[in-house]
Structure 1
Amino acid sequence: MAKKAAQYMEAIYKRVVRITNNTDVYLGTGILLSHEGWVLTCGHLFKDLGVPDGTDLSFEIDWYIHTLDGTKHKCTFILEKFNKKETIDYAIIKTECLVEFYPPLIPRKSVEEHKAHMIGFSEDAPEHRLKIDGRIVGPVLYYGHNHPPLLQLYWHYVGSYVGFSGSPIFIIDIRSGVLLAGIQSSELTTVQVPLGTSTIAIQKTSMIFSNAFNNKSANNNDCFTPNTQGFHKNPPHILDIDKTSSKLSLPDKIIHGMQWHASSLLNQISLIKLKKNLSTCIAATTDITAIAVSVHRPNTVLLRNQLAAIFGKKRWRRNMFKALTQKELEHLRSYSEYVEIFLI
């Protein structure tokens, strides 16, 4: 297993590139996503070029990438670029590096704690790759459809390396292969713990990211919403209420969606009370994000009492339900294995 992991890592090294301008000034690090020459890096590298945020940009640039073997390849244009401080920082550029790689990359679908590796180049030693080991210690979550989660990172090193922006963050899984968790986004850092842009955030924004992977095709199943993260033991149901009849009220649309996803569960709930609860909550706030239903009994009295309090009850009961705001959903992540979540 250790030998296979080492082979995976060696194959990944070949994908990591350093990025320079037309006078060979070192600017940052990137990773080749596919044999078509797509490179993922940080959006803030291009802040002095006047590149707008957006997709399908086709913004021409006179830059270069350098692979580990010293080969120099021209960058032709920036396809996508975003640099929104403390939310997302990435760019996808087209290059003339047409090299096929194996094994293929796999975008990671969660941001929970995990041992990770970061590989990049430093301004102090641009000819040599640097590998730093550490951990993804969890997500920094920004709730709302326009604020995907960032990676919260801890690296086993002292000091900083100039030019590490855009360095890929990998997880090696012997069964699954090489998982790309995100990229180092140093300019996002406003706290002591470094942050990175997760692949989840990139996929949510990008038009090409999923399709850029070898042997991957873009489809709706490759998209992830930030509110699903943290519920890995009991993934939420996503209610597409916009596709339900326009004649239905919002509470009826939500109940209709819940019945479609979990009809047996809804049969155990008073739909009259659920609709009344939804109507009251919607009248009080427009920030209803999800519906939670208690389905699994916690093992300890303390947990049961805590969950009961969240649902506004004195005692824990199965099939308690509650409409949640963003903040309430955030709090409920700690109890994810005991509830069913329906995202609106």
Structure 2
Amino acid sequence: MGEHRHGDPDTPGTVERAGDDSGNFAIENPGLPPHRPRITDEDPRAAKRAERQVSFLFILSILGTILFFVGYFGVGQLPADETDMNLIRLQNTLLGLGTAFAMLGIGVGIVQWGRALMPDHEWVEERESVTTEEDRADAVNIINDVVDETQIKRRPLLRNTLIGALAIAPLPAIAMFRDLDNTRNHSDDPAENFGVERMRHTVWDTGTRLVRDVSGTPIKASDVTIGSALHVVPDGLLDMEHDMLNQKAKAVVLLMRLNPDDMQISAGREDWHVDGIVAYSKICTHVGCPIALYEQHTHHLLCPCHQSTYDLTQECKVIFGPASHPLPQLPISVDNDGYLVAQSDFQEPVGPVYWERDPRPAEERGA
């Protein structure tokens, strides 16, 4: 019988300890693996070839950005009807390929630069706090060493092509974001071409008939039944030769009818409906998705993107979801022939609440 050892929390006798104060370890530190030089480390011609490859990728990024602008400004400015699908497909193809080449050229180029040309030695260095001027100077020297290791100073072809690619790569995004808020409005007033003022006005006007989307059929009040929901646009919008899609995106509304006894009407809106027939903007005030579902039994309008829910009986007040503002209401009435018409434009900006809204009527705002 061998000696039986009874351990304790400090010396159980059954497990080898990883180390002790003397610096002895049960498993020795294997250290870093030996460095294996790459072909570009030993052959200058291979290094030069890799440099040309990386520069080609950066140049490809530059060409991709140029291709984007050809599609965006070149094809996009050709005189053609907005329903010309061949032209739209060509533009979308150029935009997609241009963006892909612009981004991939920079990304793949930097990866190849690091794999083939930048030093790949591994080392372990203890982190020290920077507390003295000498330590700060050492930190600056480390940064300079890193810059030297990238070889960006002694490889001007890489440096110049990278700078060129990075300089123009953001321009497509700037152009697109700029046009999100400045799309072919021909007003002489700069305030009408930018910001909330442009979203405050649509093609709805006094006496404009409400017509069904796609068919363009005018709507009589007697044809709208309780519980129905119609997609409606201004009369004449579908016949516009220019800017129809942009104007439709702002002007489209949902037309519904409910029991007037169920409606909670605020002061000043008593005559904005026709015997329970109401019209509200179809554009969600969260991020601009189209409202897609009307629940007749609950009188709720739902946005499919982020589940914002509006209560029709409370003038489309938000009762659930991330939207923070009710849907703008279009004041409507009936003309002499019994057709539904707009009393005016919307009294507040439509679309996402990106800007501060002024809920006052146009005459009170001085608009």
TM-score, scaled relative to structure 2: 0.22
Q: Identify which of structures 1 and 2 has the higher relative contact order when contacts are C-alpha pairs closer than 8 Å and 6+ apart.
A: 1
Structure whose alpha-carbon radius of gyration is higher: 2
- The structure where strand makes up a greater share of residues is 1
- The structure where helix makes up a greater share of residues is 2
TM-score, scaled relative to structure 1: 0.23
